[in-house]
């Protein structure tokens, strides 16, 4: 028995100790700084190169709900009107917040991105069981969601778990653009999960259709029917974006 404890102590803790203060690698593309004042030539190279139509002009804006974080616009803009930071806490409760259209600091975004809702905090603050529905994406968002529960990120320590059945869930978390073939399954999953429940969209595909937005094979009627409680941008989503976003929604 003593040996068992020794081994356990030697292992130490592999989980990130303070998930809120954890940072990500400099190479990670997260929150973009968009500053129209630097857009001197009005060349529109950024708009023309964007594969998802995430950039608009007048005013220059970048929709991180559509962006797949390829970095091409940043690379093409000689004047640095668009620059990605590695800031990863980019989840929000309001879709409009994802349209970055002025020089916004990281802190400005963070302070206003999540609106606390007392009804959610009252019921789910200490425990949230998630049924994840993969609706036709590339599987990268799903892999990152798996990583949320590994020993490094250890989302389970906050009482947030992914469960196998919608009957046991408090939350439907959608990844992928919602293909026609998954539309009924998503609706069934929603109906099978007990009330009250919350709905989360994770990844550019789920939020806007992403690279597949113009495809005839998607059916996004579900999103018009039900309230979305949290948007988690990314392509794919980063585990720290997911966990911090959900903790924010739960008022923690
Ligand atoms: S980084 Fe985003 S906004 Fe820029 S070109 Fe790529 S998809 Fe478009
Ligand atoms: S958002 Fe990006 S990573 Fe996630 S499923 Fe869609 S294409 Fe894949």
The answer as to whether 202 is a domain residue is yes
The answer as to whether 24 is a domain residue is no
pLDDT in tens, 141-158: 999 999 999 999 999 999
The answer as to whether 65 is a domain residue is no
Task: Please identify, by atom number, the ligand 1 atom nearest to the C-alpha of residue 74.
Answer: 4
pLDDT in tens, 13-65: 788 999 999 999 999 999 999 998 898 888 999 999 999 999 999 899 999 99
Report the alpha-carbon distance of residue 22 to residue 54 in Å, rounded.
28
User: What's the CATH number where 153 sits?
Assistant: 3.40.50.12280
The answer as to whether 133 is a domain residue is yes
Count of structural domains, the chain: 1
The answer as to whether 48 is a domain residue is no
Cα–ligand 2 centroid distance for 223 (angstroms): 17
Task: Please identify, by atom number, the ligand 2 atom nearest to the C-alpha of residue 236.
Answer: 3
The answer as to whether 158 is a domain residue is yes
pLDDT of residue 144: 98
Range of the domain at 137: 118-249
- Does the beta carbon of 104 lie inside 6 Å of ligand 2? no
- Given pLDDT bands bounded at 50, 70 and 90, which one contains residue 5? confident
Contacts of 154 (CB under 8 A, 6+ apart): 15, 16
The answer as to whether 140 is a domain residue is yes
Selection from 145, 185, 191 nearest residue 169 by Cα: 191
pLDDT in tens, 83-135: 999 999 999 999 999 999 877 788 888 888 998 889 999 999 999 999 999 99
């Amino acid at each position: 028995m003593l040996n068992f404890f020794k081994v356990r102590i030697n292992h130490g803790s592999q989980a990130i100790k303070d998930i809120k203060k954890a940072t990500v690698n400099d190479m990670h593309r997260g929150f973009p700084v968009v500053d129209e004042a630097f857009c001197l030539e009005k060349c529109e190279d950024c708009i023309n190169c964007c594969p998802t139509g995430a950039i608009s002009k007048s005013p220059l804006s970048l929709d991180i709900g559509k962006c797949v974080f390829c970095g091409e616009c940043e690379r093409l803009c000689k004047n640095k009107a668009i620059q990605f930071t590695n800031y990863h806490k980019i989840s929000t409760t309001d879709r409009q917040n994802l349209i970055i259209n002025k020089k916004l600091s990281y802190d400005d975004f963070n302070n206003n991105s999540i609106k606390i809702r007392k009804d959610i905090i009252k019921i789910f603050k200490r425990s949230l069981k998630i049924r994840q529905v993969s609706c036709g994406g590339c599987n990268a968002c799903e892999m990152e969601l798996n990583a949320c529960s590994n020993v490094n990120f250890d989302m389970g320590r906050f009482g947030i778990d992914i469960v196998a059945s919608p009957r046991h869930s408090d939350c439907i978390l959608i990844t992928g653009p919602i293909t026609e073939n998954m539309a009924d399954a998503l609706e069934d999953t929603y109906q099978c999960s007990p009330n009250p429940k919350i709905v989360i969209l994770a990844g550019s595909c789920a939020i806007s259709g992403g690279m597949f937005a113009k495809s005839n094979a998607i059916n996004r009627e579900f999103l018009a029917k039900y309230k979305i409680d949290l948007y988690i941008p990314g392509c794919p989503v980063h585990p720290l974006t997911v966990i911090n976003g959900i903790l924010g929604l739960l008022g923690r």
